[in-house]
Structures are given as C-alpha cells and as structure tokens.
Amino acid sequence: MKSPHQSSHPQQSEMQVALEGFAKQILVKAMSDKQVTYADLSKKLEGLGIFETPDQLNRKVNRQRFKASFWLACLIALGVTGVRFYPDQAN
C-alpha cells in the first residue's frame, strides 16, 4: 500500500489550484494586452534561449502546470514590467 507521499499525483489544495489558475490568467491577459499569439511568444522566448513550439506553449499554459521560472520568462519575453497580485484590491 502506498503512503500519501508516494502518490504520483498528490491532492492539490484549493489554494494551489487557484494560484495556478491565477498564473495562467495573468499570462493570457498579458498576451492579449500585447496582442501576442503563441507563435509570437515562441519566437520571443527563443531570444531568451527557451525553445518551445507554439503547440507546446498552448498545452503547457492551458494545463496550468508550469514552473515559476517558465512563467517569469514568458512575462519577461512579453515585456511585462509589473504584476498586480491582488487585482481586486486598490493600493
């Protein structure tokens, strides 16, 4: 019998699921604001030494399963200079 620590897909907390969705939302909004397609983003990432096809990017983003380093690289490639982590709250 496997312990919970040996599971290949451990149960995610509601917060983790929400944060993954929020990360996707920020990235997709940045792409929309900059009018950048996955093909465009693929080319921009190449300039940072990251090689992903547009289809790979689309799947990765839509699965909402990517590392913070990938997320940051995408935002840098898009020219994003700041991220608001609490969009519903005024500063």
Written as one string, the DSSP assignment of 20-71 is HHHHHHHHHHHHHHTT--HHHHHHHHHTTT----HHHHHHHHHHT---HHHH
DSSP state of 87: T
Percent of the chain topping pLDDT 90: 66
Q: Six-digit token pair at 15?
A: 């917060």
How many other CB atoms are there within 10 angstroms of residue 23's CB atom? 20
pLDDT value at 2 more than 70: no
pLDDT for the residue numbered 8: 56
Percent of the chain topping pLDDT 70: 84
Looking at per-residue confidence, does 42 or 4 come out higher?
42
pLDDT value at 88 more than 70: no
pTM above 0.85, yes or no: no
